[in-house]
Structure 1
Amino acid sequence: MDNHSSYSSKNIFKSFWKFILLNAGIATFLIVLLCPQCLTSWQGLKLAFPDFVFSFLISSCLSYGGYWTDNLLDSRLPWVKYPLRRLLVTAIIYFSFCFFFSYIIVFIVVYLKGQFELSNIPWKALLEYTKTPIIIGLSFMAFFTARSWLYEWRNSAIEAEQLKSENISSQYQSLKDQLNPHFLFNSLNVLSNLVYESADKSAEFIQQLSKIYRYVLEVQQEELVGLDREIGFAENYLNLQKIRFEGSLEYFIDLHQFNGYYLPPLSLQLLLENAIKHNIASLQKPLKIMIEQREDFLIVRNILQPKLTKEDLKTGIGLPNIQKRYALLSNQSPTIIKTEKEFIVELPLLKLNGT
């Protein structure tokens, strides 16, 4: 606790001296700008000292007011969300702040110099004296406003990029988790049986399996993939399953437009795996899966012949995974339709900006 208090005290002390040095530097800059000849002699420095104090007081008040205003508005009117409203409110507050404090300080300084009596206050003359500090103050305020705007936009861009990276990382980690490890073991079991049954089938099975896992590795770092690539992967996956299920699985693909359309990677694999996992596929009741395009949607449907075990009746996590990824990527979401005879999922086909 003592260490924390000591650390806080040091920070406050350091911030205080930074504040003093900054405003002293601004006051010195103004003296150099407005009265360079004052720096050539000791007498000139003595004459410039009241103006230095005057500039320091105005700069301190305005910088503190700007700091307070920015902190207040950053939480209520952030630049990123309300740029025009923030600019208008900032301009009004800064101008009012500049006018009020400049006028008060001019009033005090001129009075201390003995240039008027309280019984005869030259309001118009004081207003004339205030014009220059107001203009200078507003110039500095404009600089700090631009600085605040740039910092907030930069921080917002950094946060958005970090969030995007985290989402993508989480998304693809989820995808890797979604790829059922049992699928690989089942595939190896099927392969071990095929080796004894048919060398040709086992070779075909290995070829399809290698294509599937090559694709999985290729798209792990991608946010979207072209529809043609995803369909090609789906065909490899279904062909692998056809070897496994022999005549118990049938599929049909009907697409007419590939160019310019994109999907979250492995979306089709999750839907196809979901259909195969939760439905009966036998020679007597072959499982039929259809993939077709309707305008800007990819329709994946399968004949509904659900398995009766509790494990197979569970919804699983494939569909929620796809829905969450669409929520991250766009304002569209998949549509899920279940009828007495079919299970249908409509995936929105996404387009890249500018295409």
Structure 2
Amino acid sequence: MHFEINSTNSQRDLFHRVGPFILVNLGIALIITLTICPSCFLSLDGLRDLVPDFIFSFLISSSLSFGGSVITDWLDNRISWLERPFGRLLATIGLYLAYSFIISFILVFFYALILDQIDFKDIPWLEITRYTIMPMQVAVVVMAIFTTWSWLGEWRKAAVEAEKLKTEKISSQYQSLKDQLNPHFLFNSLNVLTNLVYEDADRSAEFIQKLSRIYRYVLEVQQEDLVSLEKELEFAKNFLDLQKIRFEDKLQFRMETQDTEGYFLPPLSLQLLLENAIKHNVVSKENPLFIDILQKDGSLWVTNTLQLKSQSGSGSSGIGLKNIFQRYQLLKAPAPTVKKGEDEFLVILPLIQIDA
């Protein structure tokens, strides 16, 4: 039963390959025959006289097409259009014209022999060569078709492979950027926990509980390119609640959002901004840190009061903002905007919408 199914599939594949080949060459043969004697199609006797010419034209066209296909496939495995275009063109022209002349000459010879137009005692080689010119004209057309088809096929294949490599490279770069976030977040959180343990055991226990829930989210989004705005905002709130266990009233935040449905962000973008704000600014009773997260004009505006620690310099960790910018770039999304004033620092994250 399995053999019968395979046999049927093979026959179907053969028909799909041979069927169009026969139909195309029948059409070419018909055009050639019309060119030879258009008026012959106006009478039954004329059609009868054209039958040998039609068969001959079909044999010529089929032989040249088949040979062109074989030569093209053979050259595709040996000479690349992209690496050696001139050499490939010369090889195609030389091989195909040589093949076409030999095949055309043989077919013209046997055609004349069948119609009793030649005598073996005095074979008109020059005449046969002259009649070979017409099939050679067909050969030039067929060669042009196969050459164009082969070149376009190899160009398309190269373009697809190049795009595939480009996509894989971008995916690898994006994954590398995401992989920075996991140890970065964990390292900073453990540093906070270490300090908190010495300050307040009860608060450190609460910190650990909240940290475990937050870290679960970090692991969940590790393989995601984008996360919904709703999830990212929920995570940001949990992250700030976690930080308030340590800083209490020294840290204040406000979140105002509109319709979050259909909007996305690179995962942990907000966490990086919030972490940088806390890390590089003074957070004290005298100088509490205020953070605002506002959804506005298709973007998310993240603002914090600017009260840099003396050793913070510009306030950039080398991972935070750079990581976010690179991920937006790899996603081919509009770049974030950074504005630094005298007393506040603003980052505008464009919200990404995915076409359904």
- TM-score, normalisation: structure 1: 0.65
The aligned counterpart of 2:135 is 129
1:334 to 333, 336, 344: 336
Contact persistence 1:307–1:313 (CA under 8 A): no
Measure, in 1, the Cα distance between the counterparts of 2:73 and 2:269.
56
Measure, in 1, the Cα distance between the counterparts of 2:341 and 2:226.
30
The aligned counterpart of 2:190 is 184
Residues matched between the structures, number = 282
Measure, in 2, the Cα distance between the counterparts of 1:186 and 1:131.
83
Measure, in 2, the Cα distance between the counterparts of 1:187 and 1:293.
31
2:217 to 195, 215, 218: 215
Contact persistence 1:267–1:322 (CA under 8 A): yes
Instruction: Report SS of the residue matched to 2:200.
Output: helix
Instruction: Report SS of the residue matched to 1:257.
Output: coil
User: Displacement of 1:62 after TM fit?
Assistant: 9.1
Measure, in 2, the Cα distance between the counterparts of 1:57 and 1:285.
82
Measure, in 1, the Cα distance between the counterparts of 2:247 and 2:296.
29
Q: Which digits, 9 at most, give the CA deviation of each residue in 1:103-145, with x for residues without a partner?
A: 6765678789875549x984xx444212453465456557645
Gaps of 5+ in 1: 1-28, 35-50, 75-89
Measure, in 2, the Cα distance between the counterparts of 1:236 and 1:274.
16
Report the identity percentage.
Answer: 34
Match runs of 1:1-355 below 5 Å:
60=71, 64=75, 68=79, 70-72=81-83, 115=124, 117=126, 122=130, 125-134=131-140, 137=143, 140-141=146-147, 144-145=150-151, 147-148=153-154, 151-152=157-158, 154-156=160-162, 158-179=164-185, 181-191=187-197, 193-195=199-201, 199=202, 201-309=203-311, 311=312, 313-317=314-318, 318-354=320-356
Q: Which digits, 9 at most, give the CA deviation of each residue in 1:161-182, with x for residues without a partner?
A: 4224312321222223432614
The aligned counterpart of 2:11 is none
Letter in 1 for 2:174: I
Instruction: Report SS of the residue matched to 2:278.
Output: helix
Measure, in 2, the Cα distance between the counterparts of 1:297 and 1:68.
52
Letter in 2 for 1:338: K
Measure, in 1, the Cα distance between the counterparts of 2:73 and 2:233.
63
Letter in 2 for 1:302: N
Instruction: Report SS of the residue matched to 1:268.
Output: helix
Letter in 2 for 1:316: S
Letter in 2 for 1:206: I
Contact persistence 1:178–1:270 (CA under 8 A): no
How has the CA–CA distance of structure 1 residues 222 and 61 changed in structure 2, closer, same or farther, with 3 Å as cutoff?
A: closer
How has the CA–CA distance of structure 1 residues 146 and 238 changed in structure 2, closer, same or farther, with 3 Å as cutoff?
A: same
How has the CA–CA distance of structure 1 residues 301 and 121 changed in structure 2, closer, same or farther, with 3 Å as cutoff?
A: same
Q: Which digits, 9 at most, give the CA deviation of each residue in 1:70-121, with x for residues without a partner?
A: 22589xxxxxxxxxxxxxxx9xx89xx66x8756765678789875549x98
Contact persistence 2:221–2:227 (CA under 8 A): yes
Measure, in 2, the Cα distance between the counterparts of 1:176 and 1:133.
65
How has the CA–CA distance of structure 1 residues 312 and 244 changed in structure 2, closer, same or farther, with 3 Å as cutoff?
A: farther
How has the CA–CA distance of structure 1 residues 163 and 52 changed in structure 2, closer, same or farther, with 3 Å as cutoff?
A: same
Gaps of 5+ in 2: 1-20, 27-61, 110-122
Measure, in 1, the Cα distance between the counterparts of 2:214 and 2:291.
19
User: Displacement of 1:247 after TM fit?
Assistant: 1.2
User: Displacement of 1:184 after TM fit?
Assistant: 1.3
Contact persistence 2:308–2:315 (CA under 8 A): no
Measure, in 1, the Cα distance between the counterparts of 2:77 and 2:134.
24
Instruction: Report SS of the residue matched to 1:250.
Output: strand
The aligned counterpart of 1:47 is none
Decide which structure has the larger Cα Rg and report it: 2
Letter in 1 for 2:316: T
Contact persistence 1:264–1:325 (CA under 8 A): yes
- TM-score, normalisation: structure 2: 0.65
Measure, in 2, the Cα distance between the counterparts of 1:127 and 1:140.
20
Measure, in 2, the Cα distance between the counterparts of 1:225 and 1:287.
27
How has the CA–CA distance of structure 1 residues 265 and 188 changed in structure 2, closer, same or farther, with 3 Å as cutoff?
A: same
How has the CA–CA distance of structure 1 residues 214 and 66 changed in structure 2, closer, same or farther, with 3 Å as cutoff?
A: closer
